[in-house]
């Protein structure tokens, strides 16, 4: 997805974590992601760093935050001006109402898969999104009204519903100070980018509730 603010073009994508690219005349832009915790109207810092569309050694081309489960998050993009310093130029708060959202369901147990899809349909009713269900069972996939209406349309967000392995190998995972958890903003600790906590001792209902933010 793209938007344009004056002479700055901003790309954002939520289908494999949170990705933001900023393309404009300035050398660097600051991208920040903040989360609104449940039942709070005050956001809290998650992650930020500078990005650039220029060839600047050591600077990243794209902002990314690999968290994939549900968060009530907001993106903020800033530029620096000599007169005012760091200046906010664009914000976007996650809102999938009336948008296509993909739910990739990975379970070989049809009863469990159907239970997870029931929760997906409840999520879509609550949020107002248009769900696209992808599971091993075609009869379950067809429970979505959008089953025949997905060709050539980029989804707003993709959720992966299942027991995903703890596959992250970045420094946040292997840092001994955090004992195997991923830490953001010095306050948010999660088990993996796909799961807020380890699913090893959770039942089916708890797994899908964790991922979809119930």
pLDDT at 83: 83
Contact between residue 50 and residue 59 where contact means Cβ atoms under 8 Å apart? yes
pTM for this prediction: 0.90
Provide the residue ranges of all domains of the chain, joining segments of one domain with +: 2-93, 100-163+199-212
| DSSP class of 178 | G
pLDDT at 169: 63
pLDDT in tens, 142-164: 888 776 666 667 899 999 999 99
pLDDT in tens, 7-20: 999 999 999 999 99
pLDDT at 82: 82
pLDDT at 144: 83
| DSSP class of 16 | S
HSE on the CB side for 71, CA within 13 Å?
Answer: 28
Say how far apart CA 39 and CA 17 lie, in whole Å: 23
Q: Roughly how many angstroms between the first and final C-alpha of the chain, as a whole number? A: 27
In this structure, CATH architecture of domain 2-93: Sandwich (2.60)
Least-confidence region, from 46-60, 64-78, 173-187, 200-214: 173-187
Q: What confidence category does residue 62 fall into, taking pLDDT thresholds of 50, 70 and 90?
A: very high
């Amino acid at each position: 997805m793209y938007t344009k603010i004056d002479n700055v073009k901003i790309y954002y994508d939520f289908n494999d974590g949170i990705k933001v690219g900023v393309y404009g005349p300035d050398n660097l832009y600051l991208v920040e992601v903040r989360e609104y915790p449940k039942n709070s109207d005050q956001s809290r810092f998650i992650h930020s760093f500078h990005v650039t569309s220029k060839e600047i050694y050591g600077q990243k081309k794209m902002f990314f935050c690999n968290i994939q489960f549900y968060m009530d998050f907001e993106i903020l993009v800033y530029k620096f001006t000599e007169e005012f310093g760091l200046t906010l130029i664009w914000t976007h708060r996650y809102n999938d109402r009336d948008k296509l959202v993909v739910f990739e369901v990975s379970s070989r147990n049809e009863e469990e898969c159907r239970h997870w899809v029931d929760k997906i349909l409840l999520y879509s009713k609550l949020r107002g999104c248009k769900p696209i269900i992808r599971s091993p069972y075609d009869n379950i996939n067809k429970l979505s009204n959008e089953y025949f209406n997905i060709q050539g349309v980029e989804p707003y967000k993709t959720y992966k519903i299942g027991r995903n392995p703890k596959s992250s190998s970045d420094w946040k995972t292997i840092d001994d100070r955090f004992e195997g958890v991923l830490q953001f903003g010095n306050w948010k600790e999660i088990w993996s980018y796909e799961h807020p906590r380890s699913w090893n001792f959770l039942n089916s209902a708890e797994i899908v509730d964790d991922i979809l933010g119930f």
